[in-house]
Structure 1
């Protein structure tokens, strides 16, 4: 991996106490680099930022239409959701409609990240289940595809038809042969790509509504679903949801673990991929906000944007002692 560039600084009083470096690439509709920071050839696992790619075969196979999935559930198939009641109930209903239950999932249980639901479950002495897993929507999509294909129940195995279809979609959209995969937190394979490859894939999604082939029509439906239902993609308080709502033009945003973030800009036919080298979410949220401010997609004065672009650092008495900020010039470089 080539050298990353410093993208985010953490200030305490007059001192830059910490810095976060990373890679970021903006691609146009031809897959060419418009602007980049760090190493566009760096090979990285995109983690959950690749979920809309993993969801493509759900539509291209006809499985989604065969069971009548609406746009809310298509957004959920691309989600790293909060595990709030709206997410848990939606996945449970989806599974019931395809004749399956929570036990068919292979993502593992996870404590809800929704404070109200988590606290209510603790008071009721209720244990979290797989429905609360932030990837349960993606896995409901995997199950729907496996059922449609008549494939076996272990849909997370790398040689399963579901994962072979996901790899085919991944290599088609990135324009690369993936060098391999790691096993994600939800037990599914997560395929690696270069930073340019992921930005190219997001640009391909961004231009999908201008093309008529089956894969592009499927991609356009997924992007539309994410933009129409940002609450299903992440949840209240989360960067993906809040920044999609705050944007001045339609944009689909998707975070990934270990400091990954992607953006799809349909009006511009552009895609963005971002990776913070040390995996810090605070830095990936700041840096993606800065790049979107740079492009004029986000208003830096909007409090929803400020919450991620320049969040304050407070001490235990609630006193503001510093802030997190993009490096000079990242957000205000005059566009690209």
Structure 2
């Protein structure tokens, strides 16, 4: 079943405004709420209808690294043809483990390029354990260690495959980035509201949470052989490449059959189940600690078995009432 019928035309850009966020996650200490994270979230039915909306799901925002699956789709459409593990790495925010660094090198070597072709900034590995080991070995920040190096390496491979000049592959006017914008607008069903640069230097487009959830839905409902299907299949077959062995995105995809998930900086998360149920959320203050409990609440509302989700639930962070509509007493501890 294709999800293309859900978005028959490209809509106008999402409005740029201060989002009307609502409480998403409570921080408990003892017998009372000590803190509160606001945000917005949307849960879509398989047919595209909104099952649950919290906050402002129509305002433009930046999806950050949750946009990477869409960028990977654009690359496949433009001619990227690599193994599934490397395609998953292209859609990743990797931890900097050995498997990720070797994968990024493999991508570069396949295009006859070296690490110096990357245009992302140098960094230390994202995972704290890997970062500590890196520093103990007195290693310096490198472009390959940056959590976005898989995406950047794949962008370079795409440029070589399409016979595009690759030195300026991050320029919004470059054919690759024009293709990415076209794909983002196709998958979300709306024109980009604005464009800026992400932390790694890649063009980043402003869209709505509803549009982002639709894009996740398009990936899991896409027909076999399509670029969307290839990216979704690669990410689900190789969740270890999408994040890392100590990251919740990877372990959740390993625990929940058929789950597609991708996180992003500033408290962004997307997820979709094989039947097309999909979600997107944004934590207003960007706190990553609030992202997981909000995600778990939405997955529970999607029908994921509680025993699969229970091991991931932090003891002191709980979804607010808006994300748990069956709760009758908002002060009652689960």
TM bracket (short chain): 0.7 to 0.9
Name the counterpart of 2:25: 8
Task: Give the secondary-structure state (helix, strand or coil) at the position aligned to 2:182.
Answer: helix
Q: Does the 8 Å CA contact 1:293/1:331 hold for their aligned counterparts?
A: no
In the alignment, which of 292, 303, 307 is matched to residue 285 of structure 1? 292
Change (3 A) 1:117 1:163: same
Q: Does the 8 Å CA contact 1:274/1:288 hold for their aligned counterparts?
A: yes
Mapping 1:140-151, distance limit 5 Å: 140-151=153-164
Mapping 1:98-113, distance limit 5 Å: 98-113=111-126
Alignment partners' CA distance in 2, 1:19 and 1:142:
39
Q: Kindly state the Cα deviation for residue 4 of structure 1 after the two structures are TM-superposed.
A: 1.6
Change (3 A) 1:298 1:45: farther
Q: Kindly state the Cα deviation for residue 332 of structure 1 after the two structures are TM-superposed.
A: 6.8
Query: Taking structure 2 as the reference length, what is the TM-score of the superposition?
Result: 0.87
Q: Does the 8 Å CA contact 1:179/1:193 hold for their aligned counterparts?
A: yes
The alignment covers a number of residue pairs equal to 309
Q: Does the 8 Å CA contact 2:90/2:153 hold for their aligned counterparts?
A: yes
Name the counterpart of 2:15: none
Name the counterpart of 2:39: 22
Name the counterpart of 1:218: 227
Change (3 A) 1:17 1:178: same
In the alignment, which of 175, 197, 211 is matched to residue 161 of structure 1? 175
In the alignment, which of 141, 147, 163 is matched to residue 134 of structure 1? 147
Name the counterpart of 2:244: 235
Q: Structure 1: 5+ residue runs without aligned partners?
A: 313-322
Quick check: 155-164 or 144-153, which moved more? 144-153
RMSD between aligned residues: 1.8
Structure 1 stretches of at least 4 aligned residues deviating more than 6 Å after TM superposition: none
Name the counterpart of 2:221: 207
Mapping 1:181-192, distance limit 5 Å: 181-192=195-206
Q: Does the 8 Å CA contact 2:75/2:180 hold for their aligned counterparts?
A: no
Change (3 A) 1:296 1:280: same
In the alignment, which of 233, 258, 269 is matched to residue 266 of structure 2? 258
Change (3 A) 1:30 1:159: farther
Alignment partners' CA distance in 1, 2:36 and 2:133:
38
Mapping 1:41-190, distance limit 5 Å: 41-64=58-81, 69-152=82-165, 153-190=167-204
Alignment partners' CA distance in 2, 1:148 and 1:194:
32
Alignment partners' CA distance in 2, 1:325 and 1:159:
43
Q: Does the 8 Å CA contact 2:54/2:323 hold for their aligned counterparts?
A: no
Alignment partners' CA distance in 2, 1:17 and 1:76:
38
Q: Structure 2: 5+ residue runs without aligned partners?
A: 1-17, 328-334
Query: Taking structure 1 as the reference length, what is the TM-score of the superposition?
Result: 0.87
Alignment partners' CA distance in 2, 1:239 and 1:330:
20
Name the counterpart of 1:320: none
Change (3 A) 1:52 1:78: same
